[in-house]
Chain A
Amino acid sequence: MPGEALIEVADLRRTFVVHERRGLLRRESRTVHAVDGVSFSIEAGEAVGYIGPNGAGKSTTIKMLTGILVPTSGRLRVAGVDPSARRRELALKIGVVFGQRTGLWWDLPLRDSFELLRRIYRVPLQTYERNLATFVALLKLEPLLGQPVRTLSLGQRMRGDIAAALLHDPAILYLDEPTIGLDVHSKQRLRAFLGELNTERGTTILLTTHDLVDIEKVCSRVMVIDRGRLVFDGGFDALHRVGGATRTVVVDLVDVADPVQVPGATVTRVEGTRQWLSLPADASTGPVVAALAARYAIADLSVTEPAIEDVLPLLYADP
């Protein structure tokens, strides 16, 4: 359809019936709304982070977008097709990396896994060799190619998995918790690689993570899901300013003074000549700073954005 985004999701729902044992013979079933009316669209070339607490519905959404799970209801189009109905056709256009398991063949050497994928995806030899050379260099896979996948460390395996997911030039790369369990250095390398992939190759990225730094470094847009519903969808910077969050202005006065009186901000702490002022994150700091400068002699001043870690819980309903 012309004008349609690469990923179109409208009122997507998925329920699971969970059986619970109550006593020896009694069993109760309960319906869980894992994804409960989610709508969004992602344009080609975007890099989107998908976050939320455990069990919020992140993986369930990704599994529906890849065709693994059939939605209970709602409209879903990825690269113009309905994922679960045309799973194999879609497979040629997407790459999927699950952080907690491998898409490689456990007992085959990495090189054989890649070669097998080339033939399964019918990647032209030239494209394959060019991509392989690129990813082997960027992900430093050269010394690992001859090793069976089961002998690789978690970080090595993850790099192998990412290369494997990209050999067929997919338009979309899904990553489910790609940095989980990786050391700091591996995480940094992976983020740099994903950022480059998005900006230079234009690959659309959708990643779920618990690590906000992943999103800060890789994504320009964040979607937050809680209990199956989207509670935020916007730029990473805007996430700092969601409802209830506060910015802090730290001001060093020339002389010790009583708490300053400025409209739109309240003093939360005083320590010698230094004072902390709190103001709503969606308010502008300009007038506050101007008012301060007009009334007091200022030695130094700085503004701190609210930490995302502190903002996110404000989005989540109480458990």
Chain B
Amino acid sequence: MGDALRGYRIIAGSWIRASLTYRASFVTLTLTSVLITFLDFAIILVMFSHLTAFGGFSLSSIAVIYGMSGFSLGMADLLLGNTELVGRRVRDGSLDSMLVRPVPTLVQLAADHFALRRMGRVVQAVGVLGWGVATAGIGWTPARVAVLAGALVTGSVIFCSIFVMGGAFQVFAGDASEVANAFTYGGNTLGQYPFTIYPADLVKALTFILPMAFINWYPALYVLGRPDPFGFPEWLQWASPVVTAGFVVVAGCSWRAAIRRYRSTGS
């Protein structure tokens, strides 16, 4: 683990230094990224100029839900987003070069072309979340602080696991980065809104089959002090760490299996 982190730091550091050589371009790209993600939230703002509540949640509460999901995806995208290029690396053979270096392959894939400008989404999410928690009238208790902080970590780890599973699938199937995108960016789009706007069956599926509701929905309910609108048990709001552990195990096993079954290219 220490080796993996060290490898990540070294490789990512190289790319950060390289990107900072072109300072103007770096600043422009980062600002553009913040602006684009801000426009994303602006849609919700526009909606609220016509409504006072959406799915039974105030704008401030939605900002909390939105910010938690956005932060998690942003962090995962920053740290592991480059793993979606693995399909291309299988085809052009550069995965072979990574396999013969003394750093875990996943670390190399993730840290290669590390782009600090991906911080844009994280910065935007922190802004929206900060405004949300400040104005939603939350009665803070140590438990609520812990659940919020914990959810930011477990949410990020769940999205990271999804990136890894998507990468494993690509090694296996040759390509199909869209499959992973459906779950990462698609999952984030779902998670930006209170789940009360979705049919109960979908929420059940996102709880028990593909447990993405644990990224932000259940912890957010606890932080906001809301009873579960679908009448699901309250302990689900505490279950994110356990679900996250499950995601990590499945992601780790699929990655290992994919590398063992890797066939490399022709020559």
How near does chain A come to B255, taking the closest CB pair, in angstroms? 14
A-contact bits for B3-41, CB 8 A (1 contact / 0 none): 000010011001101100000000000000000000000
A97-132 vs B: 1/0 string, CB under 8 Å?
010111101011000100110011100000000000
Given A107-B18, A107-B113, is A120 in contact with B262 using a C-beta cutoff of 8 Å? Answer: no
A22-30, A84-92, A185-193 - the one binding chain B: A84-92
Judge whether B97 and A98 touch: CB under 8 Å: yes
Cβ-defined contact, B18 with A112, below 8 A: yes
Residues of A within 8 A of B103 (CB): 88, 120
Question: Is there contact, CB below 8 Å, between A68 and B262?
Answer: yes
Question: If A16-B263, A69-B264 touch, does A120 touch B100 (CB 8 Å cutoff)?
Answer: no
Does A67 sit within 8 A of B, measured CB to CB? yes
A106 to chain B: closest residue by CB:
B94
A151 to chain B, nearest CB (A): 14
CB distance from A18 to the nearest CB of B (A): 10
Bound complex: CA of A176 vs CA of B265, how far in Å? 13
A121/B102 in contact, CB under 8 A = yes
Contacts of A176 in B (CB 8 A): 267
Decide yes or no whether A94 CB sits under 8 A from chain B: yes
Contact of A94 among B7, B10, B100, B262 (CB under 8 A): B100
Closest B residue to A59 by CB, please name it.
Answer: B267
Q: Do the beta carbons of A67 and B99 come within 8 Å of each other?
A: yes
Candidates B11, B14, B100, B261; contact of A67 at CB < 8 Å: B100
In the complex, whether A63 has a CB less than 8 A from a CB of chain B is: yes
- Does the CB pair B93–A100 fall under 8 Å? yes
Residues of chain A contacted by B262 (CB below 8 angstroms): 68-69
Closest Cβ neighbor of A104 among chain B residues: B97
Residues of B within 8 A of A279 (CB): none
Contacts of A67 in B (CB 8 A): 99-100
Contact of B18 among A89, A101, A108, A120 (CB under 8 A): A108
- Residues of chain B with a CB closer than 8 A to A91's CB: 100-102
Contacts of A96 in B (CB 8 A): 97, 100
Residue of A nearest to B98 (CB): A103
Closest Cβ of chain A to B2, distance in Å, is 13
Write the chain B residue with the least CB distance to A108.
B18
| With contact pairs A69-B262, A107-B18, A112-B14 given, residues A101 and B100 touching in the complex (Cβ less than 8 Å) | no
Write out, one digit per residue, whether chain A residues 65-97 have a CB within 8 A of any chain B CB (1) or not (0).
011111000000000000010011101101010
Indicate if A177 sits at the interface (CB-CB under 8 A). Answer: yes
* CA–CA, A99 and B92, complex, Å: 13
Interface residue? B50 (CB, 8 A): no
A100 touching B260, Cβ below 8 Å: no
A254 to B104, CA, bound (A): 74
Q: Cβ of A68 and Cβ of B99 under 8 Å apart?
A: yes
Taking CB atoms, residues of chain A closer than 8 Å to B14 are 105, 108, 112, 115-116
The smallest beta-carbon distance between A17 and chain B, in angstroms, is 9
Interface string of B145-169 (1 = CB under 8 A from A): 0000000000000000000000000
Q: Which A residues are in CB contact (< 8 Å) with B260?
A: 70, 84
Contacts A100-B267, A177-B267; A92 near B102 (Cβ below 8 A) = yes
Q: Is the CB of B18 within 8 A of A68?
A: no
Top 7 A-B residue pairs of the complex, sorted by shortest distance between their CB atoms? A103-B97, A91-B102, A101-B93, A96-B100, A68-B99, A119-B10, A88-B102
Q: Would you list 25 pairs from A and B whose C-beta atoms are within 8 A, ordered by A residue? A: A16-B263, A59-B267, A67-B99, A68-B99, A68-B100, A68-B264, A84-B260, A87-B99, A88-B101, A88-B103, A89-B102, A91-B101, A91-B102, A96-B100, A98-B97, A101-B94, A101-B96, A103-B100, A105-B112, A107-B113, A108-B15, A115-B14, A116-B14, A119-B10, A120-B101
